Amino acid sequence: MAVPRLPMAEFLVQRGYVTPEQLDEAKKVSQQTSTELGRTIVNLGFAGEREVLHAQAQESGHPFVDLDRVTVEPSAVNVVPERIAKMHNVIPVKKEGSVLWVAMANPNNLEALDQLRLASGLLVKPAVAVPGAIEDAVRKYYSGASTNGEAAAEKPASGAPGGDKMTSDVRALMAQAQAGRDIADKGIKEDQSDEEMAEQAPIIKLANAVIQQAINDRASDIHVEPQERAVRVRYRIDGVLMEAMTVPKNLQAPLISRLKIMAEMNIAERRVPQDGRIEVRTGGKEFDLRVSTIPTPYGEKVVMRILDKGNAMVGLGKLGMLPEVQARIEELVSQPNGMFLCTGPTGSGKTTTQYSVLHKLNTMEVNIITVEDPIEYQLGGIAQVQVNRKAGLTFATGLRAFLRQDPDIILVGEMRDLETSEIAIEASLTGHLVLSTLHTNDAPSATIRMIDMGVEPYLISATVIGILAQRLGRRIDTENKEAYEVPAIDLRRFGFPVTDPDEKVTLYRGIPADSNRMTGYKGRMGVHELLSMNEEIAELVVRRAPLADIKAAAKVNGMKELREDGLAKVLAGQTTPEEVMRVVFTAGY
């Protein structure tokens, strides 16, 4: 549903910024003094400049940016010269692909927009902000911090719990750590190593603050990336990487050493990749961070995957499935034996889907055992086993042991090799329901992938009952969205039937706002493709038919391709064609 644009005065009253009586008085004074109404309201002290600008922005259809709360990305600032920023009192806020969002007092300043476009080489989109806040931001972000490596952490986006405090804490901690590092660099503490620096309070608190801010911002991953002159920290939020802060170069070694100490890694080894884990408790919740390091020319890059141990997605109804897809999956997994597979690239939500299936099946009457690497979420009433290759516990050895544990349902975190696949198939043939995952681009490809691993086709046709391919796409911010029309012909690539070349289709898109980090998206949803095995498909698999034949038979059997499922969610106003294109389409699709 489109968000209506209200006249400035009506918006101010509706939000409670001014009373109807104050508005009437302001209108009279405005007429008497020939002063613009918004300026009159501010001069009379009925509302602040921020509130009036917010009202004017929504009336004109431009987003309003609160620079005291929104994240300003250094990558955006870097593409606009300081001279232009100061001349027109503008501050670049976010760089998203070929689009540059710029906060300015007057979004209709065409001269400023033209100069910004020429200087950046990007499509410039204006947002409204308070002039004084823009001046402060220009002083802050063009103060030379980017040249001496002392850029502080940026503020988290609106809505991050404790965001303002976290920003000030990060700045203070970075300054303290910088001071300690400067002393060490000058030789006052010549015997102080990076490892010893990593054990000092400012560095410890800085590392904790980087993790805490990511959790507050709902990030799924933290990237600590050494560059030539600084260290870039990025968070993956709703599946997209966003720059969070820049750390001075001379804090790189102690910060990374501290993260490696927390993950129980070998801090003296910097030449080979390492893996570790960090357990964090904050806000009454427990989080598990899977930490990975790799060597790069400018130092070790650290990536941390954040897992909320108490936040397993429960219920297939929360995964964004179409009703018919959900009903069919529930029917398939209610069978006493067989193999149900989830496929897709890394980070597409395969494990979350399997956990949701387990949640549905987890009753007092069944014995469920899982073997995972790692155990991402703790599930009550289920025996979960962690792979430990050093101790000889692999997926295959775990599966063999499971068959002696009287299981009804078995989850194999991933089928990576022939041995694991054969034991899983044996389990499904002997009266067990087996759930597992594969890395393939779509559902029909899973059968080809298993054959490539060495599994006999007749075993696949005899055990596999269903294959679900999926992706995760960003969801439109439901509180900030608007309707627009596109030619129906533009949707043909998604499988949309076009009978009239002049036909128009109403779609929805998000309105950039502080609450969605100026992206128009908030949260994620699944895009699915479900193949149900039947006699025809089983026969095609047994005789090693081409993938195109298997896909055609699956479609006849009711399978909706990923792009078709994405189209249904576009037409329902849940996401956009661009987002479906981003997560689903590949060359030659």
Mean pLDDT for all residues in the chain: 85
CA atoms within 13 A on the CB side of 281: 1
Closest among 451, 449, 448 to 439, alpha carbons compared: 449
Residue range 327-342: mean pLDDT, rounded: 95
Query: Percent of the chain, pLDDT > 70?
Result: 88
User: Hey, what amino acid is at 186?
Assistant: K
Higher pLDDT, 149 or 6: 6
- pTM, entire model: 0.70
How do residues 18-42 score in pLDDT, each as one tens digit? 888 888 888 888 888 888 888 888 8
Query: Percent of the chain, pLDDT > 90?
Result: 44
How do residues 250-301 score in pLDDT, each as one tens digit? 889 999 999 999 999 998 899 999 999 998 888 778 888 999 999 999 999 9
Q: Reply yes or no on whether the pLDDT at 331 is more than 50.
A: yes
Tokens for 390, please give them. Answer: 């050093």
Q: Reply yes or no on whether the pLDDT at 137 is more than 50.
A: yes
Residue range 296-316: mean pLDDT, rounded: 82
**The predicted structure's pLDDT at residue 310:** 63
Residue range 448-477: mean pLDDT, rounded: 95
Q: Reply yes or no on whether the pLDDT at 62 is more than 80.
A: yes
**The predicted structure's pLDDT at residue 195:** 59
**The predicted structure's pLDDT at residue 301:** 97
Residue range 357-375: mean pLDDT, rounded: 90
Beta strands, E only, 265-419: 274-282, 285-296, 299-308, 338-343, 368-372, 383-386, 409-412
How do residues 94-125 score in pLDDT, each as one tens digit? 988 888 999 998 888 888 888 898 888 889 99
User: 284-323: buried (b, 16+ CB within 10 Å) or exposed (e) per residue?
Assistant: eeebbbbbebeeeeebbbbbbbbbebeebbbebeebbbbe
Neighbouring residues of 272: CB distance < 8 A, sequence distance ≥ 6? 295
Closest among 417, 442, 440 to 554, alpha carbons compared: 442
d(CA 124, CA 575): 23
DSSP for 416-428, please give it: -SHHHHHHHHHHH
**The predicted structure's pLDDT at residue 259:** 95
Contact of 466 with 332, CB cutoff 8 Å: yes
d(CA 520, CA 511): 5
- Going by pLDDT thresholds of 50, 70 and 90, the confidence category of residue 197 is low
Higher pLDDT, 363 or 153: 363
Residue range 335-355: mean pLDDT, rounded: 92
d(CA 255, CA 346): 28
Residue range 317-323: mean pLDDT, rounded: 89
Neighbouring residues of 305: CB distance < 8 A, sequence distance ≥ 6? 220, 221, 289, 290, 292
CA atoms within 13 A on the CB side of 534: 14
Higher pLDDT, 236 or 141: 236
User: 426-459: buried (b, 16+ CB within 10 Å) or exposed (e) per residue?
Assistant: bbbeeebbbbbbbbbbbbbbbbbbbeebebebeb
User: 237-263: buried (b, 16+ CB within 10 Å) or exposed (e) per residue?
Assistant: bbbeebbbbbbbbbbbbbbbbbbbbbb
- Going by pLDDT thresholds of 50, 70 and 90, the confidence category of residue 193 is low
- Going by pLDDT thresholds of 50, 70 and 90, the confidence category of residue 45 is confident
**The predicted structure's pLDDT at residue 395:** 87
Q: Reply yes or no on whether the pLDDT at 346 is more than 60.
A: yes
Q: Reply yes or no on whether the pLDDT at 143 is more than 80.
A: no
Lowest mean pLDDT among 143-157, 182-196, 545-559: 143-157
Phi, psi at residue 193, to the nearest 5°? -90, 170
Closest among 518, 497, 541 to 96, alpha carbons compared: 518
Q: Reply yes or no on whether the pLDDT at 165 is more than 50.
A: no
**The predicted structure's pLDDT at residue 178:** 62
Q: Reply yes or no on whether the pLDDT at 150 is more than 60.
A: no
Phi, psi at residue 121, to the nearest 5°? 70, 20
